[in-house]
Structure 1
Amino acid sequence: MEVTGLTPDRGVPFRDIWTSAEQRATRARLRADMRRRQGLGARQKSALDGLVHALRRESMDRSFPERILLSYDLGSRFRSPAAIVAVGEIDTATHVSWQVSGMGISVHTAMWGSVKEAAQLWAAQKSAGAEHPCVISWLGYQPPGPWGVLSSRSALRGGARLALHLNSWFDHYERLRAEDRSGRTPPRPHTAVEAHSYGTVVAARALQILHRSSPSRSIDALVVSGAVGLPRDLAGDPAALGMSEERIYTALADTDYLSRLALWFSGRRQWTRATELKTTADEERNLAAAVGHNTSRYRPDARLFRRGRGYRDPGTASLYRIARATIGLPP
């Protein structure tokens, strides 16, 4: 499968983002962009500031591992910023999860929050028993606005980009195994995609493209929360994603009305052949219910109508079960 970069439709030369040499070059480029910050546009400044803040160790819980900047593009007047950040060590990971977000979640608006959600999933996976998890916060496409959620255009482009990066990850790991003459490189890590909102449509398209590629490839688990529907040509056909229905999981809160409205008005189909993850409160485990459509909404001082937790908030039944599903455990 030909890989052409973070923005393949624009022909940006592909960089092998998985090598340590390229990661050092990316950090050097980030430092150079920080020095020229004053000459950047407002959106580029916001993207740069969000990246730098997300990478600072002190910006999040100290128990979270180092964040690794794999790739970024500050964008331009006509191109939205994009970035890929890993939480945890990649080459020694036993479990690799790709986290894909939806409407309105961009590098210049929500970089720190997105990386924090990846770190929270990492922590939940560790608690569930994953030895060396790695969660990749993938903001590699231009998410749509409210009305754009009803269209599939952004999902087709985003899905192509995500498929390219998933494919490059598989290539990288196969190279690691081929170059390791000691035979100590472990089998390929358990690989999952965890997607929310419009990101679920992006993920579905990516897995379809990955399955159709040569060689055909697939992941081990797909978890979708707050889904806004499945494209009609994929509805009821897990095999089109290269998966069996036992490895697909869906989470939908009782009060997630936005997902239901988007499903209705877009004309897409429901995710039917999948295992449902309960998002209601679990008193036995002292876990709260997910409320509404957002991934993160918990604020200790929130007023009455802003109370509650999102799908990816710590202490929720949804995050507990998403973490287990993404590492191959019964949810």
Structure 2
Amino acid sequence: MGPDTAVVDGRRAVGVTGGGRETAPRGPRDGGAARRLRRAVRALLAVLVVAAVVVPLSAAARPRIPAPAPADPAAPTTPAALTSAYAANRADAAQASRMAAAHGYAHRAAVDRSLASSSRHLLAFDGRGPGRVTEVIGDLAHADRVAVLVPGSDTSLDTYGRFRADALALSRELTRRAPAGTHPAVVAWLGYETPDTVSTTVLTTRRAEQAAPHLRQLVRELRVLTGRAARIAPVCHSYGSVVCGRAAAGLAVSDMVLLGSPGTGADSVAALRTRARVWAARGDDDWVANVPHVHADLFGRTFGFGADPVDPAFGARVFPAGRGGHSDYFKPGSPSLSHLARIVLGAAKETRGH
């Protein structure tokens, strides 16, 4: 769901009858589970109220930055075609930088100009609006271990630097730990329009459902480029784990990692309908632990993402992430980063527990 933020606490809300009186507790037969569910639903409703007030402001603040429409070339299937795709997307980024500068968007122009550097490997690029980019770190043509980073909310070209920093940190850890003869690569996939953290959109699966076919398509392209023997592992952070949950049934991957997840929209690993090993972690100081794990049908839409992936009942392989917060999973030297590298390399032990 993006960078650290506060979650509204609805614990003090109480029921009110039609005559305006507070309802009394229903007694022992109600059970602790029912009371917890009601508190969670009230907390979710409180978040919705706040988000509904703020979202018009956040939406209005997001500029529709102009850029050229990207070319739509065939997916690269050979190293030579991959090199050509990189060059074409760098050229698009250079043109987008010039257009952004001409319209007064200095920060975006600088981001696009950096992406246009000859050292960058762009598998896809679209500079329009919040922007999309798929960047490869490493030698994808010869990779046999590939991590695909799927970001959470508030990630766009304007904030791409922090997302790429996570990808670089994982790449360095993979390179450090890779056995001789193993060739890892990292793909930073900003391939969908992420929701704003403070919005009603971030509380639904709509953006994830829109993103899922694009993530499946990327994995199919990676399969062609790297071969059937390669291990591909989506590493899905926050709202990105909702995207991975929606895409899971169609992903030919060996592992899937859910980091700081508010839920996947599924109630269990079995409900994801994937053959991949599913891993989950949450840092001790991650605020997402306070997000209610419920579904609520409101205003003709389903809000909330269901079961907690680090709950043993969900069925994921839970690994320790240390004391970090919501943005610390890729911090160098952290337990989470070392575990991520072992998972991507296929060297992680199958453990359970938090």
In 1, Cα distance between the equivalents of 2:109 and 2:220? 27
Is the partner of 1:52 in helix, strand or coil? helix
Quote the residue 2:232 is aligned against.
Answer: 191
What code does the residue aligned with 1:249 have? W
Mapping for residues 127-142 of structure 1, pairs under 5 Å: 127-130=176-179, 131-142=182-193
Aligned ranges 1:304-319 → 2 under 5 Å: 310-319=328-337
Q: Does the aligned pair in 1 maintain the 2:136–2:185 contact within 8 Å?
A: yes
Q: Which has the higher contact order (CA 8 A, sep 6+)?
A: 2
In structure 1, the partner of 2:3 is none
The residue aligned with 1:179 is none
Q: How does 1:1-331 map to 2 (within 5 A)?
A: 13=72, 15-16=74-75, 19-40=82-103, 42=105, 46-53=107-114, 67-76=120-129, 80-108=130-158, 110-130=159-179, 131-146=182-197, 147=199, 148-173=201-226, 188-208=229-249, 210-211=250-251, 218-231=252-265, 234-238=266-270, 240-244=272-276, 247-261=277-291, 263-264=293-294, 266-271=304-309, 272-280=314-322, 289-290=323-324, 292-294=325-327, 310-331=328-349
1-structure distance, mates of 2:195, 2:259? 17
8 A Cα contact 2:132 2:156, kept in partner: yes
Letter aligned with residue 50 of structure 1: V
Contact 1:17 1:71 in 2 (8 A): no
CA shift at 1:132, angstroms?
1.6
* Larger Cα-atom Rg: 2
Partner Cα separation in structure 1 for residue 137 and residue 112 of structure 2 = 13
In 2, the alpha carbon distance for the partners of 1:250 and 1:97 equals: 15
TM-score by length of 2: 0.67
**Is the contact between residue 90 and residue 115 of structure 2 (CA under 8 Å) also seen in structure 1?**
no
CA distance in structure 2 between the aligned counterparts of 1:17 and 1:113, rounded to whole angstroms:
27
Tell me which amino acid in the other structure corresponds to 2:230: P
Deviations 1:251-309 (A, max 9, x none): 111221234315357151222111111122xxxxxxxx32x212xxxxxxxxxxxxxxx
Change (3 A) 1:47 1:220: farther
| TM-score, structure 1 as length reference | 0.71
C-alpha separation in 2, matches of 1:238 and 1:317: 27
Q: Is the 8 A contact 1:86 1:135 kept in 2?
A: yes
Could you report, residue by residue, the CA deviation over 1:138-166 in whole angstroms, capped at 9, with x for unpaired residues? 00111112232211101101112111211
Task: Note the C-alpha offset of 1:54.
Answer: 5.6
Contact 1:224 1:251 in 2 (8 A): yes
How far apart are residue 86 of structure 1 and its match?
Answer: 0.6
Contact in 2 for aligned 1:259/1:293 (Cα 8 Å) = no
Letter in 1 for 2:142: T
Distance in 2 (CA, whole Å) between partners of 1:89 and 1:173 is 10
Residues 26 and 71, structure 1, Cα contact 8 Å, conserved in 2:
yes
How many percent identity over aligned positions?
23
Q: Is the 8 A contact 2:70 2:125 kept in 1?
A: no
CA contact (8 A) 1:229 1:262 kept: no
Distance 2:289 2:218 in 1: 27
The one-character-per-residue Cα deviations of 1:142-193 (angstroms, maximum 9, x if unpaired) are 111223221110110111211121122223445xxxxxxxxxxxx5321111
| Contact 1:47–1:111 (CA under 8 A) maintained in structure 2 | no
Q: Is the 8 A contact 1:118 1:136 kept in 2?
A: yes
Q: What value does the CA root-mean-square deviation take over the aligned residues?
A: 2.6
Q: Is the 8 A contact 1:47 1:81 kept in 2?
A: no
Does the 8 Å CA contact 1:51/1:112 hold for their aligned counterparts? no
Number of aligned positions between the proteins: 261
Q: How far, CA to CA, are the matches of 1:55 and 1:263 in structure 2?
A: 41
